[in-house]
């Protein structure tokens, strides 16, 4: 791994002091394997956890590149299965046995350097003519696939297992959700059946619940009054309980109507308690949202425990109140036609990668963003995960007002494993996250499904164009500040339109208040055994 004598990495070792807290409640990893915490404790997080030394990364070295690569991949798979479970365990640690999220950040730090080493070992094998490497899409992820370049070269045991692991976990989560849904359905039906015993059946006709001398039409089970539906609060044309009791009806007593109405209400309550199908709805803004900070990250990969943050852009914009009069103006963007609008407090930061990551490079990132990570080393480009001042500044901003991102779970996952104190602040309810992706999917009628986008085209590029923040003949820039700006412009225009049309946050399903995803902790209001946070 690259070294800088001015960087204090002692926190990586001290982070292991919390292993006792983690081992107390986390016995299994994400693949349901027992965790050997003594093995974790023995990892040298400061100096590298891989088996190869610097000389082993050079083509022609005397060591076996196959054996080194195999050993490193085994370490990575074992470590990442632990990291993948830690977020859920930390957030569900309602009794706060685990005091800090420092250990996951430290393990992710070491895992990034291990992945740099793995990439260079693959490169060495290519240089020595042992194999070729090609990226292939495998369902949810893209992985490098090795192909032997000559007879006698074995590559089956050194293939990247990421796709196999990730896809298996996804299928297990799917099966777990189905099991929970089935159990929820059974509980719901049990409640409905209990209500039917107490209040009468919602589906049953008057002949089943009315007095024996009723003259109701047994062939019309869904009617109380001939030719009119059962009592329904959503239909003003249907009579209420009092009117049913007054009018001549097929049932003489109002008691049946009251029971029937109560049964319908209880059933509606149980149905309303069912979980929402689209989980991102919790990230939608409320009708009182105002001051927000938009943010966008550019990274050299998609996994926060493997990739580095290389570009950060953020700025502020008020969704309701006027722009601060004393805020500086005259901001410039990569695209000259971008309108400043109501943006203020704009910032752009560039960060680097390790010398090993720079040596390997990333052609895709150059094509996507224009950033050549092979040039992102040295004092000019500090590593974000080694820059405590940058992390502290960002954390202060992230906890001062809601932050907005497009597909915000991406930024959130990188903050969790890169920003000291973020996970703790989030768990304690000091972070509110708003996502423009579900705004596009649920509230933008232009987001129509198509063959390439079965849920509609909800990329930031498409959303910004529909909301007038990006020209039709242009494209998303894939730079932090520029993408943040068009996202905020699109969001403000969209919210203004939704308010005028009484839709979105101002519609029937809208949220009061700021909205967004946050954790509300009611520890003060419950006895110790019931201190459970609510995920809003």
Give the burial class of 307: count Cβ atoms within 10 A of its Cβ; 0-12 exposed, 13-18 middle, 19 or more buried.
buried
Q: Which residue has the tokens 């509609």?
A: 456
pLDDT of residue 475: 63
Provide the pLDDT confidence category of residue 454 given band limits of 50, 70 and 90: confident
pLDDT tens-digit series, residues 244-259:
344 433 434 444 445 4
Identify the band that residue 473 occupies on the pLDDT scale cut at 50, 70 and 90: low
Flag the least confident range among 195-209, 335-349, 468-482. Answer: 195-209
User: Average pLDDT, stretch 351-364?
Assistant: 95
Residue 36 is predicted with a pLDDT of: 98
Q: Taking residues 401-406, what's their average pLDDT?
A: 97
pLDDT above 60: residue 345: yes
Rg value, the chain, Cα: 29
Which of the 8 DSSP states describes residue 535? E
Number of H helices and E strands in the chain, helices first, is: 17, 9
Specify the pLDDT at position 524.
Answer: 44
Write the class of the CATH domain 280-506.
Answer: alpha beta
DSSP string covering 431-494: --EEEHHHHHHHH-TT----SS-TT---SHHHHHHHTTSS-TT------HHHHHHHHHHHHHHH
Mean pLDDT of the chain: 83
Dist CA 472 CA 468 (whole Å) = 9
Q: At what angle do helices 388-398 and 408-418 cross, to 10 degrees?
A: 130
Per-domain boundaries in the chain? 9-128, 129-195, 280-506
Long-range (24+ apart) CB contacts under 8 A made by 88-94 are 89/22, 89/25, 89/26, 90/423, 90/427, 91/427, 91/519, 93/25, 94/531, 94/532, 94/533
Looking at the predicted structure, is the pLDDT value of residue 2 above 50?
A: no
* Average pLDDT of the segment spanning 436-453: 85
Residue 342 or residue 250, greater confidence: 342
Angle at which helix 480-500 crosses helix 436-443, to 10 degrees, equals: 40
Over range 109-124, report the average pLDDT: 98
Tokens of 449: 């499904």
Q: Which is more confidently placed, 385 or 509?
A: 385
- Tell me: pLDDT of 198 over 80: no
149-155: average pLDDT: 95
- What is residue 315's three-state secondary structure? strand
Torsion sign (Cα): 378, 380, 385, 389: positive
Quote the pLDDT of residue 240: 41
pLDDT at 480: 77
Give the lowest-confidence range in 12-16, 41-45, 221-225, 326-330.
221-225
pLDDT band, very low/low/confident/very high, at 239 (cuts 50, 70, 90)? very low
Strand partners, 405: 435
Work out the pLDDT band at 211, boundaries 50, 70, 90.
very low
């Amino acid at each position: 791994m690259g070294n800088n004598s001015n960087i204090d990495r002692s926190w990586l070792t001290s982070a292991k002091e919390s292993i006792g807290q983690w081992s107390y409640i986390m016995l299994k990893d994400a693949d349901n394997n027992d965790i050997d915490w003594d093995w974790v404790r023995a990892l040298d997080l400061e100096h590298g956890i891989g088996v190869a030394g610097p000389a082993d990364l050079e083509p022609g070295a005397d060591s076996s590149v196959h054996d080194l690569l195999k050993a490193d991949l085994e370490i990575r798979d074992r470590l990442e299965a632990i990291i993948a479970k830690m977020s859920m365990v930390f957030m569900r640690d309602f009794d706060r046995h685990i005091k800090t999220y420092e250990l996951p950040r430290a393990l992710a730090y070491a895992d990034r350097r291990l992945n740099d080493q793995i990439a260079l070992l693959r490169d060495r094998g290519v240089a020595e003519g042992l194999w070729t490497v090609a990226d292939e899409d495998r369902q949810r992820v893209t992985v490098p696939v090795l192909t032997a370049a000559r007879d006698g070269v074995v590559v089956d045991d050194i293939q990247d297992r990421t796709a196999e692991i990730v896809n298996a976990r996804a299928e297990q989560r799917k099966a777990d959700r189905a099991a929970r849904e089935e159990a929820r359905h059974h509980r719901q039906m049990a409640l409905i059946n209990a209500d039917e015993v107490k209040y009468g059946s919602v589906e049953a006709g008057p002949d089943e619940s009315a007095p024996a001398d009723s003259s109701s039409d047994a062939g019309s089970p869904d009617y109380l009054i001939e030719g009119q539906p059962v009592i329904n609060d959503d239909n003003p044309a249907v009579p209420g309980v009092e009117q049913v009791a007054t009018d001549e009806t097929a049932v003489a007593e109002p008691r049946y109507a009251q029971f029937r109405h109560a049964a319908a209400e209880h059933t509606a309550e149980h149905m309303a308690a069912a979980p929402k199908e689209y989980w991102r709805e919790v990230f939608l803004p409320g009708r009182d949202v105002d001051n927000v900070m938009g943010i966008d990250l550019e990274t050299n990969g998609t996994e926060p425990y493997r990739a580095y943050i290389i570009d950060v852009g953020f700025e502020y914009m008020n969704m309701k109140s006027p722009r601060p009069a004393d805020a500086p103006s005259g901001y410039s963007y990569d695209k000259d036609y971008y309108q400043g609008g109501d943006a203020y407090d704009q910032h752009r930061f560039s960060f680097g990668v390790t010398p090993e990551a720079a040596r390997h490079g990333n052609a895709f990132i150059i094509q996507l963003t224009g950033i050549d990570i092979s040039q992102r080393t040295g004092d000019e480009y500090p590593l974000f995960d080694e820059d405590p001042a940058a992390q502290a500044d960002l954390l202060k901003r992230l906890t001062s007002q809601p932050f907005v991102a497009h597909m915000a779970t991406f930024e959130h996952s990188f903050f969790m494993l890169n920003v000291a104190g973020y996970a703790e602040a989030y768990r304690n309810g000091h972070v509110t996250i708003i996502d423009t992706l579900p705004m596009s999917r649920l509230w933008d009628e232009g987001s129509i499904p198509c063959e390439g986008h079965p849920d509609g085209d909800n990329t930031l590029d498409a959303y910004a164009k529909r909301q007038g923040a990006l020209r039709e003949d242009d494209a998303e820039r894939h730079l932090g500040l520029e993408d943040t700006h068009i996202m905020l412009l699109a969001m403000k225009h969209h919210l203004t339109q939704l308010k005028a049309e009484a839709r979105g946050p101002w519609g029937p399903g809208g949220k009061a208040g700021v909205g967004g995803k946050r954790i509300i902790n009611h520890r003060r209001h419950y006895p110790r055994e019931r201190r459970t946070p609510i995920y809003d």
